[in-house]
Structure 1
Amino acid sequence: MVISVDTGNKQIKTEHFAFQSGLNEMEIMPPKMDTKVLEYKGKFYTPSNRRIAYMKDKTFDERYYILTLMGVARELEDRLNRGIYRPVPNRPVGVELLVGLPPADFSGLYEKFENYFRRDEEPVSFRYGGREYLICYRDVVSYIQAYAAAVMYSKDMKLRQLAKVLIVDIGGFTLDYLLLRYGEPDTEIFDSLEKGVIPLYNEIRNRVRKQLDILLEDSDIDLVIGEKNSLLSAEIKDLIRSVVYEYVVNTLGIFREIGIDFNSITTIFVGGGSMLLAEVIKEVWIRYRGEYHIIYDSLANAKGYKKLYLADRAS
């Protein structure tokens, strides 16, 4: 059974689900609640809106292992409910786990990241939503984030027919980019910058606190950027929008400094941050003449991992 889990700094994404990259750990079963509880090795876990601080190496502790297991559990439950998976007591189901890493970290971390999940290849036993599960990671394969998202939509966007395409993935903590030439990655032009939406949110909170003495949460900022109903004053909203506009201007300006000209290339934005900032990107893009697109699918990386894996197996 193939299951993809995209372990982002802001969110964990699978083919069908997304949840915050945060974790509550408890020694005893929590009171009855709507949130599904994961029980693993005698401890109980639930997702938390308080995300984990940025970790370049996610194998540092067990938290991303547990978050990934939550993603696997959600996919198994979904397939069980849809009748396409039926567990057999005491017999582990084999799982091909697909994960991803930023372009700049891939070559240095992919083996360590894959081994982080393989462990001793022993069956993994856990309970989720009151059901018992037994799985075995038959294979763990890493892919390059951003590239996987582009591959998912490469046919629709005819990427293999374009001489140069820049993929920009605005994620939680990092902004990843890589250049494609006729659909294939350029092995020299790629990087991961600490310019994702989490640093943006930190800057917004600092500005609002210093100038207006107001403490904000991520959810407050999301409402304003997404132009949804918010109880914040017009003054706070204007300050948030000005910081966001400044962020997009400065972020796009970085590419000129590193020798990438939007006027002579097709640019494709992917990732949750790109979707969140779509209207601001549109406003700022007026100063450029190049073509750009935004992929409105926050699960694109996870879906792309599976597409790449199945293509490799078929070849």
Structure 2
Amino acid sequence: MEIAIDTGNKQVKTDHSVSISGVVSQTTIPATARPEDYIRYRGRYYALTNKRQEYLRDKSETERYFVLAMMGIAKELDYMESHNEIAYDPDKTYYITMLGGLPPAHMEDAHLKDNFKAYFKTSEAQYVWYKGRTWRVKITKVYVYAQCYAAIMTVFTQIKPYPRVVGIDIGGFTTDYLTMVRGTIDIEHTDSLEQGLTLLYQTIHKKCLKKFDAIIEESDVDAILSGDTSLYDEEIITLVEEEAQAFVDSLLSSFREFQIDLKHSFVVFLGGGAILLKKYIEKSPLLGRYMFLEDIKGNVHGYKLLYQVMQKKKGEQS
């Protein structure tokens, strides 16, 4: 069976789950974690944590993303079983074709792609305990697609009329951008910027501490930007909104340095960061025509779509 997993630096998403990209390991059952927020794997318990994790260009450098993938697979199997799509059998091995992705600029790096595939592919069955059941899974195949591009393909009919499309994916640590000219990726104008939401969070945290002696964390910033301002003084709300606008203005202005004219391109904004900053992006005079892809699982659905297209082509050729 095919399971699509979007392993982002801030969140890991599957068809039916969204989890923070952080885990802590321990030898005993997590006392305070919800049952759906931890697994037992190789004799240890792994629970989700909101603690900030380091940014990794190559996710194969740590076991974290493999564990998160195992959790994502367990969540999907549990969902399918609860909806009578599959039957649970403790003696059965569930063979998984994993559909994943890398930032578009990294797709040109054969070493990163090979590492990604080898990292997730398992030579033996893995035993994952989740919500009282042990699933025996084996990842037999791994397909890698370009993040951002995959999500954009889910709205292909809407972008098809435009000769130049720029996808901007604002994430936690980075902002990935991709340029397409008449449906083909322009790799020279495709890259990643180290200007993710973390930079905005850090700036706001430092300024609020210095100006108001207030400790404003990421969750506070998210709440204010989402319109939930009931707990905060007006001066803090104003600072957060001003910094959000300054962040957006700086980010969008930087595209001129890369010879990308957003005013004369059709721009697709995606990712949780873009949704959070939507009203500030809409104020920018640098934009012409644009849209927001508000499906935060856009990459997941895109991976499945691209896989289906590939399988269809194989069937036509055989």
Give the TM-score normalised by the residue count of structure 1. Answer: 0.95
- CA offsets per residue over residues 125-171 of structure 1, 9 Å max, x none? 1100111101111201111110011011212x1x2332111111111
Aligned to 1:143: 145
Q: Which residue of 2 aligns with 1:246?
A: 246
Query: Do structure 1's residue 51 and structure 2's residue 33 form an aligned pair?
Result: no
Instruction: Give the alignment of 1:122-141 within 5 angstroms.
Output: 122-141=124-143
Are positions 1:294 and 2:297 aligned together?
no
8 Å CA contact 1:125–1:135 kept in 2: the answer is yes
Pick from 97, 112, 115 the counterpart of residue 112 of structure 1: 115
Aligned residue runs from structure 1 range 221-240, under 5 A: 221-240=221-240
Amino acid at match of 1:310: Q
How has the CA–CA distance of structure 1 residues 254 and 29 changed in structure 2, closer, same or farther, with 3 Å as cutoff?
same
Identity of aligned residues (%): 35
- What is the alpha-carbon distance in structure 1 between the residues aligned to residue 59 and residue 202 of structure 2? 21
Q: Return the alpha-carbon distance in structure 2 between the equivalents of residues 31 and 170 of structure 1.
A: 34
Please name the residue that 1:26 is paired with.
Answer: 26
Point out where structure 2 has 5 or more consecutive residues left out of the alignment.
314-318
Give the aligned residue type for 1:111: D
User: How far apart are the structure 1 equivalents of 2:265 and 2:30?
Assistant: 53
In 2, Cα distance between the equivalents of 1:301 and 1:233? 37
Mapping of 1:140-219 within 5 angstroms? 140-155=142-157, 157=158, 159-219=159-219
| Deviation of the 1:35 alpha carbon | 3.7
- For the 8 Å contact 1:98–1:306, the answer to whether it is kept is yes
Cα distance, 1:265–1:32 mapped onto 2, change above 3 Å: closer
1:289 Cα deviation from its structure 2 partner: 5.4
Which of residues 294, 303, 306 is equivalent to 1:308? 306
Question: Which amino acid in structure 1 is aligned with residue 61 of structure 2?
Answer: F
Q: CA deviation at 1:7?
A: 0.9
State the alpha-carbon separation in 1 of the partners of residues 276 and 215 from structure 2. 21
Secondary structure, in 3 states, of the residue corresponding to 1:50? coil
> Is residue 20–residue 48 contact of structure 1 (8 Å, CA) maintained in 2?
yes
- Which residue of structure 1 aligns with residue 87 of structure 2? 86
- Measure how far apart 1:91 and its partner are: 2.2
Deviation at residue 32 of structure 1 after TM alignment: 6.6
Q: Which amino acid aligns with 1:132?
A: T
My pick for the range that moved more, 48-57 or 132-141, is: 48-57
Query: What are the ranges of 5 or more consecutive residues in structure 1 without an aligned counterpart?
Result: none
TM score, norm. by length of structure 2:
0.94
Distance in 1 of aligned mates of 2:266 and 2:40: 46
Distance 1:200 1:89, change over 3 A: same
CA distance in 1, matches of 2:270, 2:96: 27
**Paired residue secondary structure (2:283):** helix
Distance 1:39 1:250 in 2: 44
Contact 2:253 2:286 in 1 (8 A): no
Partner SS, residue 46 of structure 1:
strand
- Aligned residues of 1:10 and 1:198 also touching (Cα < 8 A): no
* Amino acid across the alignment from 1:299: K
The count of corresponding residues between Structure 1 and Structure 2 is: 310
Q: Distance in 2 between matches of 1:87 and 1:179?
A: 44
Quote the Cα distance in structure 1 between the aligned partners of 2:287 and 2:69: 41
- Separation in 2, partners of 1:178, 1:195: 15
- Structure 2 residue 13 is matched with structure 1 residue 13: yes
User: What code does the residue aligned with 2:290 have?
Assistant: Y
Quote the Cα distance in structure 1 between the aligned partners of 2:166 and 2:31.
48
Amino acid at match of 1:181: V
What amino acid is the match of 1:149?
A
Q: 2: distance between equivalents of 1:245 and 1:33? A: 36
Aligned partners of 1:16 and 1:299 also within 8 Å: no
